[in-house]
Amino acid sequence: MSKPVIVLWSDASFFSPYVLSAWVALQEKGLSFMLKTRDLGKGEHLQPSWRGYALTQRVPVLETDDFELSESSAIAEYLEERFAPPQWERIYPHDLQKRARARQIQAWLRSDLLPLREERPTRCSVCRGEKSAAKRGWKSQRGKTVCDG
């Protein structure tokens, strides 16, 4: 199968961990791609002329030829199937149970990472309000963060 033109859409500040996840999947696959941005602060993601508008109006969005896909986990799984091993690098384990565990961790990070990002921001020196991960049931054990619940 031929290599399509691939575009990954990001936020202009490159702050989204979900865009980073899609970017890493593309890098690990060894795929060439263009990185384009939308300024979310200016509402560029809300313009109907943007191809990602009809999806979720969020980033990341992956474009391959005439196909658009949003949501980072869907993008990673699409890339794994569209650019399948052995011709392309594997991003999920070959073993069924290990692959399931990788997807479990992937889903957990996507659903429960926000409280940690809010508590430990990387781009602001003064954050609005008290957003404690501990108040959301998170705690640190031996350098690892886990969720009670």
Q: Would you state the structure tokens that stand for residue 24, as one six-digit string?
A: 């890493």
Give percent of the chain above pLDDT 90: 50
Q: Would you state the structure tokens that stand for residue 128, as one six-digit string?
A: 């609005």
CA distance 51 to 33: 17
Element (DSSP H or E) covering residue 55: none
Supply the pTM of this predicted model. 0.74
Torsions phi, psi for 28 (to 5 deg) = -65, -35
Domain ranges of the chain: 6-82, 96-147
CA distance 44 to 40: 6
**b (16+ CB within 10 A) / e for 111-125:** ebeebbebbeeeeee
Q: Which of 52-56, 104-108, 134-138 has the highest mean pLDDT?
A: 104-108
The architecture that CATH gives domain 6-82 is: 3-Layer(aba) Sandwich (3.40)
- Is the pLDDT confidence value at 112 over 60? yes
What are the tens digits of pLDDT across the range 22-74?
999 999 999 999 999 999 889 888 888 877 777 888 899 999 988 999 999 99
